[in-house]
Amino acid sequence: MGEPIREVTIVGGGTAGWMTALLLQSMLKGGPEGGVRITLIESPNIPTVGVGEATVPGMPRTLKQGGIDERTFFKTCNASFKLGVVFGHWNVDAEGKRVDYINPFAHPPAIDGVSAAEYALQFGTGGLDFVQCFSPAVDLAAQAKGPRGRGEMPGPPVGFAYHLDAGKFAGLLKEHCVARGVRHVLDDLVEVELDERGYVAALMLERGGRHGVELVIDCTGFRGLIINQALGEPFESYGKYLANDRAMAVQVPHRDPVRLDSVTKSTALGAGWAWRVPLFNRIGTGYVFSSAHRTDEEARAEFLAHLGPDGEGAEPRVIPMRVGRNRNAWVKNCVAVGLSGGFIEPLESTAIHMIDTAVRWLVQYFPDRDFADPLRRRFNHLVDELYNEVRDFICLHYALGNRTDDQYWIDARESLEVPDTLAENLELWQYGLPAVNDIRFVSLFSPATYQAVLLGKQVYESGFGKGKFCSGRTLDGAKWAAYLKRARAGIGAQVQAAAGHRELLRALRGDVVAENGLLPGLGGGPGAAGAGVSEDAAIL
């Protein structure tokens, strides 16, 4: 057995660096009490490219594991609840009308072993959105309610994630990590010293001089100062799969002092899509677009027109996006985490999830100073699968788009390459709905999630699988009707018991106190990936 690693050096702050520090410090028991020491080196002169404002479920686990209480999180980060993503105008229905749908944090049940989605396709939903057949997300969002109530909520827990302020979240993580023993060094990286094997031996810092390295985590953002520039690991662009390569972002105020939306919104525009993320104190919004279809000036004009009165006086700044990933995330004794490792457009808010997942895998395959190849190979294989999973799910939204009103949407459907794994499934799903054996790797996007998108986009009604789709099953319409009646009654009870989103947040933040000193039922719950650019211009 080789000599154990005594210190992990993280280069770069922001959400990527400080979340890495939080997880490593928690899981490796770093700090003054012993275990692996964690040192984070952060430039005082370079703005961080943070990780964003919308998340996916999983954050509650990370906060709890790191010792950050929920009230502190909500209060410090102006956080709010996210019940799903509403996709607006991404497709048109059989009559040419643009459709909206929600991708929730819930899975449809099976009825006699058959997915509810098959029943919905065969017997219809009685005018409901498919998601309304099994999740309260649509109904809660329509009334701007949250996932918890003033008392105990009936039925199963409502799935949720978080919206959060990227800059304040990174600040909270930093304060918490430093208090728990993470060493914070404010200095600029001048040079990377390699040893005779090509491993990183030391970092030359502008003020602190030589800092020896055992294991280094590159969190330097799109620049990839260590993984790309020092170690020369090639970056593989996803440009052939995804056209969007630029973004612009602004913050706008809430216009309604009472209503606070509880969903992220993604609205299709002429050359990409605009996000809208409601935090407690303001709204984060921006436009992810293709520079091949809009100049910056054209995109800015289109985005401001989309914002309407909210865009008056706004000056969104443009952010170039490096979309793709490194060939390998772990090279020699360097592991790239966050934007230095790769980035896929933030349509499903996956970047925090990818940071969290990668760091957990690193702990699982944590090396000694011999850096055994099998550990590195398995980690790189898993990261490869993770990127493929997210890439395929994002590509699905474009490959099954049917808009023809702008060349961008035509090109997205007809000119972009569809990854082989997705292409094979799209051919299969013309004959039947996504099933458990169809997705080879699932960290986030299950077959049920694919079902929600396919039915939300109404692709089967618009011709996808026409003349081919056949489940081979004889289903009982009476059982479906009985299920719908029960489901809608249960959902109605949940919505009735749910608290208004703003009211719920005020209680969680401690801004209001109920008569008995607290509002019951506002404890923990199931739950929080996005990528961004600091507090003033975060990408979703």
Taking only the tens place, the pLDDT of each residue in 84-125 is 999 999 999 988 999 999 999 999 999 999 999 999 999 999
8 Å CB contact between 232 and 206 = no
352 is in an annotated binding site: yes
Query: What is the per-residue pLDDT across 328-359, written as a single tens digit (0 to 9) for each?
Result: 999 999 999 999 999 999 999 998 999 999 99
CA atoms within 13 A on the CB side of 304: 13
Rounded (5°) CA angle 192-196-200: 30
Residue type, 198: G
Gap between the Cα atoms of 257 and 411, Å rounded: 41
Query: What is the per-residue pLDDT across 406-450, written as a single tens digit (0 to 9) for each?
Result: 999 999 999 999 999 999 999 999 999 999 999 999 999 999 999
For residues 67-72, average pLDDT: 94
- Please spell the DSSP secondary structure of 463-481, one letter per residue: TTTTTT--------HHHHH
Tell me, rounded to whole angstroms, the distance of Cα 296 from its chain centroid.
25
339 is in an annotated binding site: yes
For residues 260-266, average pLDDT: 98
Helices 70-77 and 501-509: angle between axes, nearest 10 degrees: 110
Measured in Å, how far apart are the chain's first and last C-alpha atoms?
A: 44
What is the predicted pLDDT for the residue at 468?
A: 87
82 is in an annotated binding site: yes
8 Å CB contact between 279 and 53 = yes
Beta bridge partners of 104: 84
8 Å CB contact between 106 and 137 = yes
For residues 137-147, average pLDDT: 98
Residue type, 188: D
Answer positive or negative: Cα dihedral of 79, 166, 287, 290. Answer: negative
Gap between the Cα atoms of 107 and 131, Å rounded: 9
- Of the candidates 75, 82, 145, 457, the residue annotated as catalytic is 82
What is the predicted pLDDT for the residue at 540?
A: 57
Query: What is the per-residue pLDDT across 226-253, written as a single tens digit (0 to 9) for each?
Result: 999 999 999 999 999 999 999 999 999 9
Top pLDDT among 315 and 470 is at 315
Q: CATH class for domain 7-49+164-238+323-385?
A: alpha beta
Scanning 332-469, the segments in alpha helix (DSSP H) are: 351-364, 373-399, 407-414, 420-428, 447-456
Indicate the domain borders of the chain: 7-49+164-238+323-385, 106-157+389-484
62 is in an annotated binding site: no
For residues 365-378, average pLDDT: 97
Active site residue 265: no
Per-chain mean pLDDT for the chain? 92
Residue 530 confidence (pLDDT) above 50: no
Percentage helix, strand, coil for the chain under 3-state DSSP, each rounded to 5: 35, 20, 45
